[in-house]
Amino acid sequence: MRLDSVRELKASLNETIIQPMAASPVAKAAFDMAAQPMATAGAGGPTMALGVVRKSSQDYSLAVRLQRRGLENSTQLDTIKKKAKGEVDVRYIGRVLKSATPWQRKRTRPLKIGVSVGHFKITAGTLGCFVRGLDPKDDKAVMILSNNHLLANENRAKLGDTILQPGCVDGGEDPADKVAKLSRFVRLKKTGANLVDAAVATLDAGFEYNAKTLAGLGGSLAGVGEPFLDEGTPVGKIGRTTGTTRGKVTAFELDNVYVNCDIGNLQFNNQVEIEGDGDDPFSRGATAAP
């Protein structure tokens, strides 16, 4: 199929199959949700995610990612296959859990990409990178970019809250290991689709940092890459739990991916799927201690 045809089909199937399936009372019961009034249960849960994969230079297929085994022989999947005329790539991915992505757990100065960091009330996570231009009071201020669930404690934090390096579970203490203060975050929505899990924190004055070195990946940041990650694009990352991992993009524009967070099962749209090299996963759930 052409790329625009796959996108149109994905949008239609999301509306006619995925959304009704996730909102049904029967589906709710299957998501292992605790008993509670229907009025407060909220719609949504792990079902299927739909995205796009490339077959050849101009030929694309519909990516179907199952988050429950029971859907492998479902009427919904059969209908999707028929609508796509068999041009589907079906995989079971299971439930997606939030990852605090721990790796370099020691106190590190100057600060580096990949080290342990976190809001003073969470365990620990990964310092993703350094950015400028996002501080509303100072567009030249250097900031840490990471996840909302790491820097903003899943919406529970307040602007100005302390960010530690290393994170608490790695021995970080407030105020001795304070390196930044929470500046901005994209609120995670319990209902409706999220697009990112992101937050930034402004570095305290006097902290040295290394914004380019990618320890373990054998290089340094050279600039902004292509905005479009196609199927097969090689990628790598540094995480606190996984260390250095490499993989490749296997699907993109995935909608209806549910991530298990403390505040509930959160829906994410327009996501990128990455498969790790060899037998190792590209990402992995957090470990609470070394």
Task: Report pLDDT digits (tens) over 154-181.
Answer: 999 999 999 999 998 888 999 999 999 9
Is 286 a domain residue?
A: no
Q: Are residues 148 and 80 in the same domain?
A: no
Residues 6+ apart with CB under 8 A from 191: 42, 43, 44
pLDDT at 100 (0 to 100): 44
Tokens for 284, please give them. 């992995």
Whole-model pTM? 0.70
**Residues 84 and 7 reside in one and the same domain:** yes
Q: How far is CA 15 from CA 4, 9, 71, 96, 233, in A?
A: 17, 10, 18, 22, 29
7 and 92, same domain (yes or no): yes
Structural domains of the chain, count: 2
Rounded to a whole number, what is the distance in angstroms from the first to the last CA of the chain?
A: 47
pLDDT tens string 1-19: 999 999 999 999 999 998 8
- Return the biggest CA–CA distance within the chain: 61
Between 35 and 221, residue with greater pLDDT: 221
Q: What angle do CA 93, 99, 103 make, to 5 degrees?
A: 120
Q: In this structure, are 174 and 122 located in the same domain?
A: yes
Q: Does any domain span residue 124?
A: yes
Q: In terms of residue numbers, what domain contains 164?
A: 111-214
